[in-house]
Structure 1
C-alpha cells in the first residue's frame, strides 16, 4: 500500500471512529458520487454524500470494520453493525482521486430485513431534510 493510500485510509477510519464531520468534508471531492444500497441512481456531490454518511453513522450501532482489500487507489472495507435491532453485514467500496479526496463511495448491505430497515429510516430522514421528495 502506498503512503498516500495509507494516509487516505487512515483519514477515513478517523472520520468513522470520531464521527468527525469536518474531516469528512475535507476528504470528500466536490464531485463525489455516492451509490446507496437503497436506490439505483447515485447521489452526486459533497453536500448530499456528507449528509448521508453522517446520518448513517448515527443510525448504525456497534459498527465494526473487519477486513480490507486494497487495489491501487481503491479499498473495499467489510463491516458489521446493528440497524433497528437487526444485524447487518456490508461493504464500503471507496475510491480516492489523485488529490487524496474520495471521488466514489458505494455501499452494499445484507440481509434484506436489515436493508429494509435502513431504507425506511434513511428515506424518512432524507425526505425531512429535503433531499428526496415525499411520496
Structure 2
C-alpha cells in the first residue's frame, strides 16, 4: 500500500485551516470550503449542510475546547483526505478525537467529520455545544445564517 501526499491545493488549504483555527477566525473559512460542504458532528444524527453551519459549529467549539492540540495526522491512500488527531478538555473532562477532512479536486474542504472519545468527554462536549447552539437550529439544518 503506497500512501500519497495531499495535493498541493489541499496542503495549502490545510495550512490555512491551522492558521485560521489558531486565531479562531472561522469567518475567514469561505475560500477553503466547497459550496456543498457537509459537516458531521459526533453528537448529531444528521449532517449539517453548508458553509454557515460549519463556520458556526467550528467557531463555537473552538471556544468550548480547552487546551486543544493537534498532535498527529494521517493522509489517505488516495491523497484526498487527512485525519487530524487531537486532544482537548471540555469542562474539565479530557477527550481525544479526530477531524477527518476530505478535499475536492480544487483543494477545498468537501467533508468535515469529527469523532470524539471517551463517552464522558463526548457527553461534556454535547452538553456544552447543545446549550450554545440551541438558538441556531435553523442554520444547522441549512437555513439562513442571519442570526450568526
The higher relative CO (CA closer than 8 Å, separation ≥ 6) is in 2
1:120 aligned residue = 127
- What is the TM-score normalised by the length of structure 1? 0.91
Structure 2 stretches of 5 or more lacking a match?
A: 141-148
1:87 pairs with 2:74: no
Q: How many residues align?
A: 133
1:119 Cα shift? 0.7
Q: Distance in 2 between matches of 1:13 and 1:99?
A: 18
CA distance in 2, matches of 1:126, 1:5: 29
Alignment partner of 1:24 is 2:29 = yes
Asked if 1 retains the 8 angstrom alpha-carbon contact of 2:64 and 2:90, the reply is: yes
Shift of 1:6: 1.8
> Structure 1: which 5+ residue stretches go unaligned?
none
Query: How far does the alpha carbon of each residue in 1:3-33 deviate from its partner, in whole angstroms, 9 at most, with x for none?
Result: 2232121011112112122331221222111
- Cα RMSD over matched residues? 1.6
Q: Which moved more, 1:12-21 or 1:90-99?
A: 12-21
Following TM superposition, the consecutive aligned residue runs of length 4 or more in structure 1 with deviations greater than 4 angstroms are: none
